[in-house]
Amino acid sequence: MNTLIIYDSVFGNTEKIARVMGDALSETGPVEVLHVSKVNSDSLIGRDVLLVGSPTRAFQPTKGIKQFFKHIPGGGLKGMKVGAFDTRASLVDINSRFLDFMVKLFGYAAEPIDTLLVKKGGERLLQPAGFFVKDSEGPLKEGEAERAAEWVNQGK
């Protein structure tokens, strides 16, 4: 199994999660963990599995992740197994009714990433997943790195 994990990250939390996933998958074959700015047209060649992760920013993936999908042609992910993940703030910590309401309406980054991965021809290997940071910039909440490893282990 040849895996590519593409991530974007502003404060480093999503990168940490991506690297934990990479380590957890290393026994399954080659794994590359790439910042989205380093992805080029050759990056997807020969991959069996593609995981894409982003911080949730204003209920969405980052611009970088959205741009990445714009460059993938229709059917470009055919034959690849895919999974989407994000990092997000914990609503319990923020305790805002307004934010609860907005999140119910607009959600998090992992779901739109999952939709794009499948729209481009990928076969969903893992259900979209979100990992919590403390406050708005992190660090990761306790146990989230372990949960990220468990998440990818389900796809082995």
Interaction between residue 34 and ligand FMN (CB under 6 A): no
Phi/psi at 39 (5° precision): -75, 135
Share in percent of the chain as helix, strand, coil (round to 5): 40, 25, 40
In the range 48-107, which residues lie near ligand FMN by CB under 6 A?
Answer: 55-59, 87-89
| Helix residue ranges, H only, the chain | 13-25, 63-70, 91-94, 97-106, 110-119, 144-153
Residue range at the interface with ligand FMN (CB under 6 A); choices 28-36, 43-51, 136-144, 146-154: 136-144
Q: How far is the CB of 154 from ligand FMN (least distance, A)?
A: 22
Tell me how many residues contact ligand FMN (CB under 6 A): 19
Q: Are 54 and 8 in contact (CB under 8 A)?
A: yes
Q: How many CB atoms lie within 10 A of CB 41?
A: 8
Interaction between residue 121 and ligand FMN (CB under 6 A): no
Q: How far is the CB of 136 from ligand FMN (least distance, A)?
A: 4
Nearer to ligand FMN, 80 or 140 (CB): 140
Task: Look at residue 38 and give its three-state secondary structure.
Answer: helix
Interaction between residue 18 and ligand FMN (CB under 6 A): no
Q: Which of 21, 51, 84, 133 binds ligand FMN (CB under 6 A)?
A: 133
Q: What is the phi-psi region of residue 29: left when phi exceeds 0, alpha when psi lies from -120 to 50, beta otherwise?
A: left
Binding site for ligand FMN (CB under 6 A): 9-14, 55-59, 87-89, 108, 133, 136-138
